[in-house]
Amino acid sequence: MNKLEPSPAKGQSLVSWGAPATSGLALVCIPWAGAGAAPFRAWTPVLGDTATVYGLRLAGRESRRAEPPAETAGEVVSEVVAELADRGVTRVALFGQCFGAVLAFELAKALTHDGHDIEVSHLLVAAQLAPPHFTEADPTAEHDLLQYVPAHFRDEPDFVQLLLPIIAADIGLVSRYVYRPGAALTTPITVVYGARDDQLSRARLDAWRRETTGPTTFHEVAEGDHLFAGDAWLRLAETVRAAL
């Protein structure tokens, strides 16, 4: 019998840049489908005195390319909870964009309701419908995966070909997501959307109010499209800072 090949060692999922914030608050930032931690590096100068910015590097991308992508939100949540505990984090804010909002919401629920000693001070979501409507657009249908590739990368075919399988895996994870009603969060929720987002409207986001007994606020980023490309990326960071 052939010996089983060892599985690749897991890399760290949380990546930070710069010195830890004196506030003691960690901000975990979860990207859109196919993206890694790197885009959030630019947020550190904006938010560094408010929170320690951690970008979430999911399996299958960046330095974790050799690892198979997660198949369920639960896998990601368990990994992040364990790493937060290992780092000694006691107070966290969670930001999720698009696909990442699904994971941020489930992470907030796990930290709040599953007996962990980590306080969730704020949940921030951008460019995503409220649960239980995450999958209402039928994620099992054929998708234009290029919509998740930032415009400035679309003229680099080799890079796009690397991204598409990861994007497809993330879309598959969402397609398997099941919303389980339960106790509402008590955490404040901030919902951010782009004025130029042609996939979402402010009215379609209002159901986020039902997911917490705390306050829910809504912020429009004037320059923002669905991925908050270009200058809108730092405007999004400034919106997150103001909310925190």
CB contact set of 36 (below 8 Å; sequence gap of 6+): 55, 57, 58, 61, 62
pLDDT in tens, 107-120: 999 999 988 899 99
Residue 9 has pLDDT above 80, yes or no: no
pLDDT in tens, 203-244: 889 999 999 999 999 999 998 999 999 999 999 999 999 999
pLDDT for 139 equals 43
Taking a C-beta distance cutoff of 8 angstroms, is the pair 157, 131 a contact? no
Categorize the per-residue pLDDT at 152 as very low, low, confident or very high, splitting at 50, 70 and 90: low
pLDDT in tens, 25-42: 999 999 999 999 999 999
> How far is Cα 158 from Cα 54, in angstroms, rounded to an integer?
28
218 phi/psi in degrees, rounded to 5? -125, 135
DSSP string, 156-195: -HHHHHHHHHHHHHHHHHHHT------SPB-S-EEEEEET
Superfamily of domain 14-243: Alpha/Beta hydrolase fold, catalytic domain (3.40.50.1820)
- Report the candidate in 66, 51, 65 with the shortest Cα–Cα distance to residue 16: 51
Taking a C-beta distance cutoff of 8 angstroms, is the pair 91, 244 a contact? no
Burial class of 199 by CB neighbour count within 10 A (0 to 12, 13 to 18, 19+): middle
- Backbone dihedral region of 168: left (phi > 0), alpha (psi from -120 to 50 degrees) or beta? alpha
Largest CA distance in the chain: 62
Taking a C-beta distance cutoff of 8 angstroms, is the pair 165, 59 a contact? no
Residue type, position 234, single letter: L
Tokens 């109010």 -> residue: 209
Listed by start position, the domains of the chain span 14-243
Which range of 5-9, 98-102, 171-175 scores highest in mean pLDDT? It is 98-102
